[in-house]
Structure formats: structure tokens, C-alpha cells
């Protein structure tokens, strides 16, 4: 071929597109959804900044995306992003974190960012296991899963991250699986424009580590089809009994609240009031 065809999203990358994830990993689908949403938003890519923590999901923006990317310490992605947002309030800041970053080591940062309602977009790639370190149990691993650290089955109940976000006061909460990539793209576009803390949870496949638990090792297709069957929309789920929703993944946009005080605006207001008092 004389002119090799380039991907429509190639312009957002630093050099060649080269993801080092395992075959069939959901990270690439999430990365594509984020970039398509940014493409749809019409905002210049230089106005975005990405903050990512440690874990497989940390490698979605870093070092691939051709804009400001901070790859920070484990669990502290939101803490760094809060500082960045307060220093540069006009920037659109997207945090990509995994379930370990969000619920285990960074649990407190997460709930306090929800409570403060700071204008960040948080994208949590929930693969329900610690994938990078070898398949240990995570706070989101389902009940009775046999992982490397729970060979007889986990007896702990998992976290429902979206419910935590709603309870902690996040003003935009949504959950999709990687099978709903088109809906995910629209939701991320909405979340970027939402004034306040927006939390998008994505149930993503980990064919290598979590596939082993489900006895579908290295079979990303089977895991995706499993999500297709198990996911149920919020509107439908409301009509069903609790027993019918066992093993189902409720997907959809749970909360969208506006007119809630936002942290950077509040701090600006406070600063102006203090300045006026000084001048008097």
C-alpha cells in the first residue's frame, strides 16, 4: 500500500500507538472510548491533563497520550488531580485509576473527592482483581472467587464502587461494562462537560488474571459475551426483585445532579470575599 491508513485517533498519541497490555485487555477499549469522547467534545487536546495511578489502568494515558500526563504514586491519583485542578482551574482533568487505586489504597481520597465535588472526571477501570501483581484478591472481587491469595474462595463481600460514589455525594455517577463501548463513549463525553465530580465505573475484562478465576483464561471474547448477558439496564433493574438481580451488573447513568457547590468555584468566591474585606 502506498499510503498506509492511519487510525482516526492517531493524532492524540505520542508517536506510534503501542499498547503493552495483555491480549484482549479492556484497557484499550476504555482508552479508545476516552479518546473518542474527547474527539466529540471539540475541546483542544492540550487543555486536557491526565492523572493516573499505579496498576494496569495507569498505563492508559501514560506515556501514550500526547498531552500533560502525570503518572503518580499508588492510590494518590485523586490527591494529585485535586492539587492540579486548584492550580489550573481551566484545565479538564481526567483521572484514570483501577479498582485497587480507587477502593483499596486510595479509598479515602476517592470518597473525599466525591464529598468535595471538585470538577474532575474519574474513570475507574474495574477489572475485579489485582491484575498486574499476579491475581490477588481486590476489594471488588466477587464473593467466593478463587484467586491466588484465596485458593478456597473469597469469603469477603465486594465493594460496589458506584454505590459508594453516590453515597459519598458525587454529582455524576455512571457504570458500563466494556461491552457497552458506544454508550461508554457518550457517557464519558457527558462526564467531561459535567461541572462537578463525575465518576464513571467501567467493568473491564482481565482475560489473564480474572479469566483464570472464571475458568475462561485468555478468552476475552467469552468474558465480553458474559458481560453482555449479565449486564442489565438501570430502568429494567428497577422493576425486578433483588433475588432476580443476583449476579447481574446494573449499568447506566445513576446520578446527574447540577447546582451543587463546586470546590474550585467556592475557593474562588472565598478568595474574592477575603480580598474585598482586606481592601475595606
The residues that touch other proteins, with contacts defined as CB under 8 A, are 5-10, 17-19, 21-29, 32-33, 36, 181-182, 185, 207, 220-221, 224-225
As measured in angstroms, the least distance from the Cβ of 269 to other proteins is: 42
Helix (H) or strand (E) holding 51: strand 48-52
Backbone angles phi, psi at 33, to 5 degrees: -65, -40
Rounded CA-CA distance 144/86 in Å is: 42
As measured in angstroms, the least distance from the Cβ of 212 to other proteins is: 16
As measured in angstroms, the least distance from the Cβ of 44 to other proteins is: 20
As measured in angstroms, the least distance from the Cβ of 271 to other proteins is: 43
| Comparison of 9 and 104: residue with beta carbon closer to other proteins | 9
| Comparison of 181 and 249: residue with beta carbon closer to other proteins | 181
| Comparison of 26 and 100: residue with beta carbon closer to other proteins | 26
C-alpha cell at 219: 478468552
Q: Provide the β-strand partners of residue 94.
A: 50, 121
As measured in angstroms, the least distance from the Cβ of 24 to other proteins is: 3
What are the C-alpha distances in Å from 187 to residues 145, 164, 209? 30, 19, 28
C-alpha cell at 190: 457527558
**Measured distance between the N- and C-terminal CA atoms of the chain, rounded to whole angstroms:** 73
As measured in angstroms, the least distance from the Cβ of 93 to other proteins is: 24
| Comparison of 2 and 278: residue with beta carbon closer to other proteins | 2
Buried b (16+ CB within 10 A) or exposed e, 234-256: eeebeeeeeeeeeeebbbbbbee
Contacts within 8 Å (CB) and 24+ apart, 226-234: 227/177, 227/178, 227/179, 227/203, 228/179, 231/176, 231/177, 231/179, 231/180, 231/203
Rounded CA-CA distance 183/165 in Å is: 20
| Comparison of 36 and 197: residue with beta carbon closer to other proteins | 36
| Comparison of 79 and 220: residue with beta carbon closer to other proteins | 220
As measured in angstroms, the least distance from the Cβ of 231 to other proteins is: 15
Rounded CA-CA distance 118/196 in Å is: 5
| Comparison of 27 and 162: residue with beta carbon closer to other proteins | 27
Amino acid at each position: 500500500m502506498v499510503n498506509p491508513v492511519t487510525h482516526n485517533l492517531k493524532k492524540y498519541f505520542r508517536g506510534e500507538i503501542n499498547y503493552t497490555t495483555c491480549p484482549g485487555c479492556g484497557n484499550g477499549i476504555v482508552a479508545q472510548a476516552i479518546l473518542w469522547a474527547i474527539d466529540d467534545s471539540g475541546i483542544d487536546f492540550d487543555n486536557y491533563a491526565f492523572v493516573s495511578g499505579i496498576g494496569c489502568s495507569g498505563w492508559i494515558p501514560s506515556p501514550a497520550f500526547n498531552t500533560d500526563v502525570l503518572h503518580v504514586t499508588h492510590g494518590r491519583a485523586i490527591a494529585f488531580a485535586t492539587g492540579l485542578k486548584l492550580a489550573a482551574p481551566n484545565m479538564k482533568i481526567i483521572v484514570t485509576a483501577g479498582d485497587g487505586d480507587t477502593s483499596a489504597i486510595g479509598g479515602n481520597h476517592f470518597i473525599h473527592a466525591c464529598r468535595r465535588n471538585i470538577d474532575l472526571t474519574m474513570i475507574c477501570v474495574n477489572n475485579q482483581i489485582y491484575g498486574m501483581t499476579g491475581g490477588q484478591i481486590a476489594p471488588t472481587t466477587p464473593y467466593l472467587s478463587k484467586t491466588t491469595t484465596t485458593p478456597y474462595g473469597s469469603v469477603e463481600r465486594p465493594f460496589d464502587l458506584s454505590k459508594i460514589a453516590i453515597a459519598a455525594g458525587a454529582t455524576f455517577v455512571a457504570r458500563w461494562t466494556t461491552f457497552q463501548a458506544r454508550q461508554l463513549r457518550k457517557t464519558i463525553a457527558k462526564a467531561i462537560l459535567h461541572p462537578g465530580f463525575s465518576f464513571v465505573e467501567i467493568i473491564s475484562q482481565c482475560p489473564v488474571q480474572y479469566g483464570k478465576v472464571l475458568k475462561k483464561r485468555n478468552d476475552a471474547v467469552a468474558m465480553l459475551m458474559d458481560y453482555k448477558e449479565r449486564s442489565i439496564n438501570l430502568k429494567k433493574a428497577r422493576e425486578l426483585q433483588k433475588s432476580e438481580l443476583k449476579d447481574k451488573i446494573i449499568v447506566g447513568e445513576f446520578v446527574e445532579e447540577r447546582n451543587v457547590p463546586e470546590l474550585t468555584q467556592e475557593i474562588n468566591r472565598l478568595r474574592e470575599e477575603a480580598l474585598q474585606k482586606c481592601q475595606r
